[in-house]
Amino acid sequence: MRKRSIYILLLFLILSQFMVGCSEHYKTDFLKKFDSYLSYSLGDFEVVDAETIKWRADPLPVRGSGLRWVLAFTDDRGFDREFTFKNYGYTQGGDQSNFGYAVMEYAMNLCEEQITTDVLLKYFHTDEIGLQEYRTNETKISVALINEYPPKGDDYYANFVDPQKGLQLKSIHPKQLINDWGASYNFLFHTLIDNDDQMKEFMAKIELVLRDYAKYVNNYDLLPIEVNGENYEDGYHGTYNKETDSFTWITKKDYLESLKYIDGNLKKIEKVIINGKEYLVNKTYKDENVYFFADSVTYSQTTKQYHINDFEDLLTLLGYKVSMPKEHVGPIIWSVGTDTYSVRKLNDWSLKKNGGTNLLKYSGHECGGISQSDFEMLSNTTVYMDKETWTLVVNSN
């Protein structure tokens, strides 16, 4: 009995040490550390709230505490604002980049509000602005504004809180945030309209919105524009000619069909073998949480490689945990070893490693997805074509 009690006591002591070791307490006083920047950025401000926050991670036992502040100030447009930030979370690169990310995030929201007020509300009603509003309003249309944060690392975020050259929240304008700080915004248009005249009116509004937004962006390129309908092939795909200031629209169905024949030579592949198991392209494998597997695998004359459209299905079957965005508007994220990858399929594709610059040297849309060599990199696999059976073979390394 005594031995058992000693074992229980030792186990308790080990667990206690483990719990202490997994605690993280953030105590840096951002008000003092960034006092010069806050005065430079906000002008006169008032601390309306300050508190200690206790948090627990999922899964336990990681836990800790941090500090949270709310500052009130008046911007140059005469609006009363409240800036809320914490001394933990966001990035892991240190206090300055941590705070810089919070400043950037708040600036993105302020400029989104300005674009909504100055551009969207000129052409759309309040109940038409949002991601899902087309499902509930009478006009059956909606427009949503999506933030695109600067694709930079922690050191870049630290620049936002320079006390002499940093971002000034009291006077920030979309043109400054986009052109000087690397932020951007995308528009998502949705409709359930099935009347030709109403559709023409809707698309005319879209053209006005994009022309108005262009005044914020130096060297702006309006390519491409998509109007999404109720189903995947519904809607329109648009391009813009800056020289003639004109839009060209084709149906989404015609656009998707045209992708199959870029350069007259996109060969479709019907089968993929993953670690010895065969899968048919565009088939459903519910037991493995895959729907419409890969969507398409094609050979591109442009890159001389085979390309995979919904490549995240392959990642899932390879055992990677893939973070899928809500409404398919954000990035697809997964990790391979110590590296984190993200892909955005909104408008043109972009592939980033550890938050760096876009790694793609070709158009993901035109080529039908990620190339086989890129897929090898981002999945730690070997990929090759068995040309006797016209099967794409993927093996884990």
How crowded is the C-beta side of 53, counted as CA atoms within 13 Å? 15
Structure tokens at 100: 């810089």
pLDDT at res. 11:
45
- Over residues 247-292, the pLDDT tens digits come to 889 998 888 776 665 555 567 888 999 999 999 998 888 888 888 8
Average pLDDT score over residue span 333-347: 88
How far from the centroid of its chain's Cα atoms is residue 93's Cα? 20
User: What backbone phi and psi angles, to 5 degrees, belong to 197?
Assistant: -65, -40
pLDDT at res. 353:
92
- Does 301 or 140 have the greater pLDDT score? 140
User: What backbone phi and psi angles, to 5 degrees, belong to 58?
Assistant: -120, 115
Average pLDDT score over residue span 121-128: 96
- Does 219 or 26 have the greater pLDDT score? 26
Terminal Cα distance for the chain, rounded: 51
Helices (H), ranges, 184-251: 196-214
Average pLDDT score over residue span 167-190: 92
Torsion of CA 54, 60, 62, 63, to 10 degrees: 10
The pairing of strands 63-74 and 45-56 is antiparallel
Average pLDDT score over residue span 108-136: 95
pLDDT at res. 344:
87
Contact 364, 332 (CB under 8 A): no
Residue 310: its H or E element: strand 305-310
Structure tokens at 347: 């408008």
Long-range contacts of 79-88 (CB under 8 A, 24+ apart): 81/110, 81/169, 82/48, 83/42, 83/45, 83/169, 85/30, 86/53, 87/26, 87/27, 87/28, 87/29, 87/30, 88/24, 88/26, 88/55, 88/64
Confidence of residue 12 (pLDDT cuts 50, 70, 90): very low
Measured CA to CA, the distance from residue 306 to residue 368 in angstroms comes to 9
| 135 C-beta neighbours (distance < 10 Å), count | 12
Q: Classify residue 319 as exposed, middle or buried by CB count within 10 Å of its CB (0-12, 13-18, 19+).
A: exposed
- Short-list 310, 346, 352, 316, CA closest to 328: 346
Outline where DSSP puts E strands in 95-218: 141-148, 184-191
Judged against a pLDDT cut of 50, whether residue 62 lies above it is answered with yes
Measured CA to CA, the distance from residue 397 to residue 394 in angstroms comes to 10
pLDDT at res. 49:
96
- Does 100 or 154 have the greater pLDDT score? 100
Measured CA to CA, the distance from residue 367 to residue 302 in angstroms comes to 7
3-state secondary structure 369-391: CEEHHHHHHHHCEEEEEECCCCE
- Short-list 252, 227, 224, CA closest to 239: 224
